[in-house]
Structures are given as structure tokens and as C-alpha cells.
Amino acid sequence: MQAQVAAPSKTALAKATGIALAVALLLLFAAVFPAEYGIDPLRTGALLGLTGIAQSTEVKGARATPAPGAAGIYRPESRSYKVESDDFLLMPGDTVEMKYHLQQGAGMVYAWKADGKLAFEFHGEPDQKPKKDYFESYLLEKNGRDSFYGTFTAPTTGLHGWFWENKGKTEVRFHLTTAGFYDSAKMFAGGPPEDMNIEDAK
């Protein structure tokens, strides 16, 4: 004999529906709105850490917005960097100048090491000079150094580099290495400038 199951009354159905609706609304305002839309009227989203989900959600196909301060962190280039390595010998009183042509914003890393102190100036000559013989001095070392390492970002489009002078009484040898997005390099050694063709880095 099969047991008879009584159908729920209309009052019970209405009560169950009301409870389900209340739970759904509670979940909607307590979790769904804060997580999906950042709307948090009950403050439960902040308490449960759900509001951050809405802020970090990416829309497919949307273009990402750079984080504050991200502009200028990197600079794409159309070609590979170049590397140059040179040895120099300066007799007492001799001078030499080595400059690299960089576009504004292009970067370069450098290192030079000598077996004695050399006075030098690190400077640049913009292609568009406000007046004849204009140059920008970045660092002047009258007392001399025997080494110098660092990075450089060209503030203007033009030639940027070093002028060295041996103020001592003995010869000084030094080695210079650079790597960067420069177009060309020129050496000036007390006479007309000597153009130095630099091949692209392999």
C-alpha cells in the first residue's frame, strides 16, 4: 500500500517563497552587487573583501589603463641596441672626446675604467642649438676620477658623451664600453672629428 503525501498548503508555499526571496535579495546586496559592480550598501563587500574583485575585473577586448606612475617606465624602440668598446691612451696634456648621437628619451648604459685619474666632463650638444657653441653640462670632474659607471637618458636629440683630459705627468690608459639606442658615435682627438661607424649589435 502506497503512502499518501499531503500537498503543501498555500500558506506554506507563500512562506517558503518569501524566505527564498529574502535570502536571494540578501545575497544580491551582500555579495553579488559588491563583487560584480562595486555597490556595497550593506558594507558586507568591504568586510568580506569582495569590492576589490569588481575593481580588478577585466572586460574582454577592453584596453588596459596604465597604473598611476607607469608612464615612462619603458620606451619601445624600432631596432636593437648597439654596443661599442674602445681603448684609449692619453699622454700628459692629451685630450679626447667621445660622443653618441641619441634621440630624445633614448637610453644608454656606460662604463669606463682608467689606470690613473682623468679630468672629464659629461655633456651634450642638442641638434637644435639655441645659439652657436651651445652645450649642456651634466657633470664636471676637474680633480679627476679613474672610473665612471651609470645609465643615461638623452634629454634632447643630439650628441652626448665625454671629454677627457690627462692633467697628470704620466700616460693614462682607459677602456670605455657603452650599450644603447644611439644612432652613431664620433671621436674628437684634438683634430677634425673622426666618424666611427658602429654596426648593429648581433
Q: Are residues 109 and 169 in the same domain?
A: yes
**Is residue 90 in a domain?**
yes
pTM of the full predicted structure? 0.59
pLDDT of 148 higher than 90: yes
Q: Are residues 89 and 187 in the same domain?
A: yes
State the CATH number of the domain containing residue 91.
2.60.120.680
Domain containing 18 equals 10-56
pLDDT at 99: 96
Number of structural domains found in the chain: 2
pLDDT of 127 higher than 60: yes
Q: Are residues 191 and 114 in the same domain?
A: yes
Alpha-carbon gap, residue 73 to 80, rounded angstroms:
18
**Is residue 69 in a domain?**
no
Helix (H) or strand (E) holding 20: helix 10-27
Q: Are residues 14 and 52 in the same domain?
A: yes
CA angle in degrees (0–180, nearest 5) for 129-130-134: 60
Q: Are residues 94 and 168 in the same domain?
A: yes
Q: Are 121 and 199 in contact (CB under 8 A)?
A: no
Alpha-carbon gap, residue 180 to 124, rounded angstroms:
16
Alpha-carbon gap, residue 13 to 52, rounded angstroms:
38
**Is residue 153 in a domain?**
yes
**Is residue 164 in a domain?**
yes
Q: Are residues 114 and 14 in the same domain?
A: no
**Is residue 72 in a domain?**
no
**Tens digits of residue pLDDT in 9-53:** 667 666 766 676 666 666 655 665 565 666 766 666 566 665 555
Q: Are residues 52 and 94 in the same domain?
A: no
**Tens digits of residue pLDDT in 64-97:** 554 554 556 788 888 899 999 999 999 999 999 9
Dihedral (CA of 135, 165, 177, 188) sign: positive
